[in-house]
A and B are shown apart, each in its own frame.
Chain A
Amino acid sequence: MSQPNRLSQGGRIDRSRKLHFTFNGKRYQGHAGDTLAAALLANGVDIVNRSFKYSRPRGIVAAGAEEPNAVVQLGSSEAGQVPNVRATQQALFDGLVARSTNGWPNVQRDMMSLVGKLGGQFMPPGFYYKTFMAPASLWMTYEKFIRKGAGLGRSPTEQDPDIYDHLHQHCDVLVIGAGPAGLAATLAAARSGARVILCDEQEEMGGSLLDARERLDGKPASQWVAEALATLAGMENVTLLPRTTANGYHDHHFVTLHERRTEHLGETAPLRDGHRQVRSRMHRVRAGRVVLATGTHERPLVYANNDVPGNLVAGAVSTYVRRYGVVPGQRLVLSTSNDHAYRAALDWLESGREVVAIADARANPDGELVEQARAQGIRIMTGSAVVEAKGDTRVTGARVAKVDLDGFRVVGKAETLDCDTIASSGGYSPVIHLASHTGGRPTWRDDLLAFVPTLVKGVSAAGGAHGIYATAEVLADGQHAGGQAASELGFQAVSIELPKVAARRDGPACALYQVPHEKPTLRAPKQFVDLQNDVTAAGIELATREGFESIEHVKRYTAMGFGTDQGKLGNINGMAIAARCLNKSIPEVGTTVFRPNYTPVTFGAIVGRHCRELFDPERYTAMHQWHVEHGAEFEDVGQWKRPWYFPQVRADAVNGELESMAEAVARECRAVREAIGILDASTLGKIDIQGPDAREFLGRVYTNKWAKLAPGRVRYGLMCKDDGMVFDDGTTSCLGENHFLMTTTTGGAAGVLEWLELWHQTEWPELQVYFTSVTDHWATMTITGPEARKLLAELTDIDLDREAFQFMDWREGKVADVPARVFRISFTGELAYEINVQANYAQHVWDALFAHGEKYGLTPYGTETMHVLRAEKGFIIAGQETDGSVTPEDLGMQWCVGYDKPFSWIGQRALTREDTKREGRKQLVGLKPKDAKVVLEEGAQIVLDPTHAIPMPMVGHVTSSYYSPTLDSGFALAVIKGGQQRMGETVYLPMADGQTHEAEIVSPIFVDPKGERQNV
């Protein structure tokens, strides 16, 4: 259990707390304060994964969110599986179990690596397009093989035991990143009185100050961090969110912050006071101003075999040494284009290990850090770079040569240095991802050799995020940004005292991205640009040769910047290589767009509590509990739960077997046609319409006439959009001269109300009318069937005489001693009364109806029976018989169109357009299958000639289809081109299984065509 690379002192870990963990089945030990990556390096674990395409062994390269290789699968149990975790971002906890996401049978001995060895030509860029173009049928075979090889983790197959929260937050200033810039910005903004949220993705706040060599006010930088955080923690107007990643910057300063509250404690959230803690919170923050203090990512250099384990970015070396007390090797070679990276060599040397040499691409480096390195006796090879790493599963040497940067060539003979670690630095890229989410295209700055963010109003960048790197300047810049943000919101800026930092003299950096090799790029050993997606310099060069000139095309062709990596390390190098090949500058090649999320977010965090029963609101009627107790099967209609059918115990049941749906529906249908049924129709939309112009308004929004509808009367109406197409229907009752009650379809209720408001508010504000949704206030129970009058008579004071209370009348009175409105309307074709009572009286009335109804055979029925009964009568359902392309005339409902109404009602003009008048429009008809046992499939296409060569001309489709117990036959409604002129013709319905059904076009009214039964 030794940790060969652990220093005996230094770093921010707690050596007294030992933590055990398992990686790829082997047990190791680390310390509290470690990341998984730091602990793996401490234990000398070189290979953490196999690469995506070539299956090459890969090690840890970086120390933060930009790590491309160490992407692991966490979880000791099935339910605890978490894919796509970066080992560099996962805090170590006792009992952690992780494994590589790639590699078979294991990362040490990988069968797939043969693919990589057998000539790189097996998977050139554009591999998928080129190899799998044909035959298409084999793609499914290839895909399985490739997926197995690619492996980017897997999701758990068991239910997640954890809970996740969403929090909605408002603040004046949101500061993202708690390094020197972010801390100074937060102090400045908070001192002015602004409400500030400071978030940082790391385990500890402090950013680069946690491993800085600089001293602040003469003290270690981390001490100033601790003091600043203590100050901020004591301020009521400051919220500190550590372990919180700003993943997406959305419109109008809406930022999503993903706070991981327990992932450093265990694979599932531990209990506290007997309750499971919340694993993570998604803070949905609406900020007044945002300060991006997101720092930089260091760019590695692109040289041959730069992916062999033991190649790291220089800054990561410093982080591991200074923050975690881990030196990831014995003998270091540093290859750099700038001064800052010299820190890695100095830190390495101070930890007691050997620095073999520094290869500096500049001819005359002379900055302060360079001088320090010289003074320490480190060999500095100027004008040079590592051109190739040696080694297979770990670096064994570095070939260093003089390079001519302008000529992109190696000059002179390379020297091979014995080493086990190569650190490289090609400069620094501001982390511009969040700024990019807002749509701003970044700007290239030649003086920085980097893209800086283009910012929308209300956002500012501070420190490294826009190319300010020296600690003293970063602190001042942060203070300025924080103060400015607060003062823009009207807060009085207060000056804060910043710590004193000695200025450091840095020499200028040089532009170096891909290091030249003795061989041309296409023949040199692989020089990796994007390690996660196995994109090489040669791949990019090949892409440009094949004509891909835009960086966006090169990216898609090579897969550079894809996946969970999103190009954090590789994109700029890739663009530089494309620019070199195309003989352009980097900004000429293009910029790159980063999209949310910055790092992967688990689905749990995105979903929050909106899952299972809280996924979507459910609406219940007042009688819902009764339906549940009486065994109803439910159907979702919009958000409503409606009884679908009520299966009963079968007459011949031995062990209480229930009816099938077909049996239940047949029984319910017979009850309505022969005796009496009852339907809970409460879900129908109900809109109360009042005002002196209510009648005029109805005439404009319905297709038919409303001028003469008297109080006490009810009328059916169709609603069209102004394109003449039916979109809803229902009945409207005249409650008083200026008072109407409109009903809508269940699903259309909200949309119809908004539609009425739209026309009233935007076109006809002069009409005096207003609308109130009363859907939930009234419960509706429909009793229908030949016995309906007899049953209702037992319970009401309303005169039910067939002359006094006619079909399409409504009356007010009492039902079961409760005030009620009773509407004599029918959606079944039978005698029917729709009883409306206040919803909180509904169960009483429903119970009373059953108490009196048993002797009449009162049978509850659901939506399925309702559908069968209405279809037998040819009554349409808006949204089933109509699909936004059906006019009232197509439905054969000319009787419901007021052609001569004075005002041009919505949809009228469209009825005379050429397209709505033409012959051959699809029209509603009935279909009677030649074989009565056949129930046609809804949606089935209809043809006139089943022997026609494929593709057959299709003339229509089935819109509704059921078995009718009344007809003892299947029957259907359909729309067929010119159907109303084709009565009696035979049509054909070829099915997917090869059968072809025959049917006759008939009237859509199958039962009681004269409508006598509802008038009894």
Chain B
Amino acid sequence: MFNIHCPYCGELREEEEFHPKGQAHIARPADPAACTDEEWGDYLFFRDNPRGIHHELWVHAVGCRKFFNITRHTVSYEILETYKMGEQPSFTAEYPQGGSDAAAMHPAQVAQQAGVHA
């Protein structure tokens, strides 16, 4: 059972309080009508299944009800960071040790998960 740091509550809480909602950072196309059927199908149905770093959308369902993102390693299940909606991850496939450029712009906003990531 995961131990998840809710970036809104600022606390580590048990997984039972959360629901996973699939891959993060999947934006709905701004103009769906302009999408081909294939593009729309990709948006709806196709998801990554990486061995390694994965960005996931979760919701603190029986807590603050806020949606947020988790960067999780799919082999070790280690949670590398949790961050609020609208923020970018620090740990990415290109930057497995953290410090991707995007995150460098908001270092203070990225809550590194205490207790799990040593």
Chain A 437-468: CB-based contact to B (< 8 A → 1; otherwise 0): 00100000000000000001110000000000
In angstroms, Cα B31 to Cα A908, docked, is 11
Q: What is the CA–CA distance of A468 and B65 in the complex, to the nearest angstrom? A: 49
**Contact A913 B40, beta carbon cutoff 8 Å:** yes
Q: Does B76 count as interface, using CB distance less than 8 angstroms? A: yes
- Which of chain B's residues have a CB closer than 8 A to the CB of A495? none
The reply to whether B40 and A252 contact each other, CB–CB distance below 8 Å, is no
Question: Which residues of chain A come closer than 8 Å to B9, judged between CB atoms?
Answer: none
Specify the chain A residue showing the minimal Cβ separation from B28: A763
Tell me whether A251 and B2 are in contact in the complex, defined as CB-CB below 8 angstroms, given that A439-B75, A761-B67 are known contacts: yes
A250-B1, A252-B2, A904-B33 known; A758+B77 contact, CB < 8 A? no
Q: Mark B1-26, 1 if CB is under 8 A from A, else 0.
A: 11100000000001100010100000
Q: How many residues of B contact A (CB 8 A)?
A: 36
A765 and B85: CB pair below 8 A?
Answer: yes
Q: Contact partner of B35 among A723, A758, A909, CB < 8 A? A: A909
> Contacts A251-B1, A488-B118 known; A457 to B78 CB distance under 8 Å?
yes
Give the Cβ gap from B1 to chain A, nearest Cβ, in Å: 5
**Is A286 engaged at the interface, CB distance under 8 Å to the other chain?**
yes
B37 touches A913 (CB 8 A): yes
Q: In chain A between 592 and 626, which residues have their CB closer than 8 angstroms to a CB of chain B?
A: none
Q: How many residues of A contact B (CB 8 A)?
A: 27
A765: which B residues are within 8 A, CB to CB?
85-86
Give the number of A-B contacts (CB < 8 Å): 69
- The interface bits of chain B over 40-63 (1 if a CB of A lies within 8 angstroms of the residue's CB, else 0) are 110111000000000001010100
Q: Which residues of A contact B61 (CB under 8 A)?
A: 754
Q: How far is the CA of A722 from the CA of B19 in the complex (A)?
A: 20
Most buried by A among B28, B33, B43, B57: B28
Given A765-B86, A909-B35: A252 in contact with B3 (beta carbons within 8 A): yes
The answer to the question of A254 belonging to the interface, with a C-beta cut-off of 8 Å to chain B, is yes
**Contact pattern, A 740-764, Cβ under 8 Å of B = 1, otherwise 0:** 0000000000000010011001110
Q: Looking across the interface, which residue of chain A has its beta carbon closest to that of B62?
A: A750
State whether the Cβ of B79 lies closer than 8 Å to any Cβ in chain A: yes
Taken together as a complex, chains A and B put the C-alpha atoms of A909 and B33 apart, in Å, by 6
How near does chain B come to A939, taking the closest CB pair, in angstroms?
27
Whether a CB of chain A sits under 8 angstroms from the CB of B32 is: yes
Q: Is the CB of B115 within 8 A of A722?
A: no
Whether B41 and A439, one on each chain, are in contact in the complex, defined by CB atoms closer than 8 angstroms, is no
A758 in contact with B67 given A909-B35, A909-B40 (CB within 8 Å): yes
- Do B44 and A910 touch across chains, with their CB atoms under 8 A apart? yes
Q: Is the interface of A mostly helix, strand, loop or mixed?
A: mixed
Task: Known A288-B115, A758-B67, A761-B85; judge A904-B32 contact (CB<8 A).
Answer: yes
Q: Given A252-B77, A904-B31, A908-B32, do A762 and B118 touch, yes or no (CB 8 Å)? A: no
Q: Tell me, rounded to whole Å, the shortest Cβ–Cβ distance linking A484 to chain B.
A: 12
Tell me if B110 counts as interface (CB < 8 A to partner A): no
Measured between alpha carbons, how far is A122 from B33 in the docked complex, in Å? 69
- A762 B57 Cβ-Cβ under 8 A: yes
Which residues of chain A are near B66, meaning CB under 8 Å? 761
B35 / chain A contacts, CB cutoff of 8 Å = 909
Closest to B27 in A: A763
**Does B116 make an interface contact (CB < 8 A)?**
yes
Which B residue sits closest to A914, measured CB to CB?
B37
B65 touches A254 (CB 8 A): no
Q: Quick one: closest B residue to A764, CB to CB?
A: B28
Cα distance, A976 to B80, chains bound together (Å): 50
Q: Which residue of B lies closest to A760 (CB)?
A: B67
Task: Decide: B44 and A723 in contact? CB cutoff 8 A.
Answer: yes
A904 and B75 CA atoms in complex are apart in Å by 38
Write the nearest CB–CB distance from A845 to chain B, whole angstroms. 31
Contact status of A757 and B31, CB under 8 A, knowing A251-B77, A909-B40:
no
How far is it, in angstroms, between the C-alpha of A757 and the C-alpha of B57 when the chains are bound? 13
Question: Closest approach, in angstroms, between the C-beta of A423 and any C-beta of chain B?
Answer: 42
Complexed CA–CA distance, A250 and B116 (Å): 13
Residue pair A439, B67 in contact (C-beta under 8 Å): no
Closest 7 CB pairs of A and B: A909-B32, A252-B3, A904-B32, A761-B67, A457-B118, A254-B1, A251-B77
Give me 18 other A-B pairs in contact (C-beta within 8 A), A456-B76, A457-B78, A457-B117 excluded: A252-B2, A252-B3, A252-B79, A252-B115, A253-B3, A288-B115, A439-B76, A723-B44, A754-B61, A757-B59, A758-B67, A762-B85, A763-B27, A904-B32, A904-B33, A909-B32, A910-B44, A913-B40
5 chain-A/chain-B pairs, Cβ below 8 angstroms: A251-B2, A286-B3, A722-B43, A754-B19, A762-B85
Interface residues of A (CB under 8 A from B): 250-254, 286, 288, 439, 456-458, 488, 722-723, 754, 757-758, 761-763, 765, 904, 908-910, 913-914
